[in-house]
Amino acid sequence: MVRIRMQRLGRTHRPFYRINAIDIRTRRNGQVIENLGWYNPLAPEGESQIHLKEDRIRDWLGRGARPSETVMDMLAHRDLLTEKMKAEWEAEREMSRLKVACKQSLTKAEAALKEIEAFAKASGADAGEATAAAKAAIVECKRAVSGGRVPKAEAAASSAEAALATLKKADEDAKAAAAAAAAKETPSAEGEASEESAEG
């Protein structure tokens, strides 16, 4: 099988790539079947940055050659892919976008877990339930990433953030109740002290 891929040339910090048709079994810088163009990432965008032999590329694609992921992007942007390859490329790009969105939800869930652990350490609150909920949300987000299931990942991240909010609210309520109980005890103690002084 023939692969259309880039071959790195140039020198340190000055890369230059040739786009070649090469046998898939050949090592990265091995024997080239045909040169199909070049890519100069340091040149300004436009014709001077990428040069492709479009007719030869179409010929190789028609014969079943498979572009690498990077070359596939280049060819897609220049409308050189076959209909089938274009559909595959669009599906892959959409899946990549969905996976990125899922990973953002995973980051939120992981941040919520860290905050739960830090809050529990600082306040001494019992965070067992919140920690378990956040860990379960992280597992759910990781499962969602592989399939690009954004709604599931977002729901899981929201549940981790909700567990954090519930923990903080419970801690605030406990502190408020303790403060109220202390306030009730203080006047009675002052009253007993005044009664003792009156008796004296």
**Which uninterrupted H or E stretch holds 2?**
strand 2-11
Segment 81-94 mean pLDDT: 89
One domain, residues 74 and 158: no
CB 139 within 8 A of CB 187: no
More confidently predicted of 64 and 45: 64
What are the distances in angstroms from CA 129 to CA 27, 117, 125, 170? Answer: 53, 11, 11, 12
In whole angstroms, what is the distance from residue 182 CA to residue 162 CA?
30
Question: Looking at the domain assignment, is residue 87 inside a domain?
Answer: no
Question: Looking at the domain assignment, is residue 49 inside a domain?
Answer: yes
> What pLDDT sits at residue 47?
63
Segment 107-124 mean pLDDT: 90
Question: Looking at the domain assignment, is residue 88 inside a domain?
Answer: no
> What pLDDT sits at residue 153?
94
Q: Which of 41-45, 90-94, 111-115, 163-167 has the lowest mean pLDDT?
A: 41-45
In whole angstroms, what is the distance from residue 76 CA to residue 94 CA?
14
How does residue 101 score in pLDDT terms, banded at 50, 70 and 90? very high
Segment 140-150 mean pLDDT: 92
Q: Which domain holds residue 60?
A: 2-81
One domain, residues 76 and 11: yes
Which residue matches tokens 């408020």?
Answer: 176
One domain, residues 164 and 104: yes
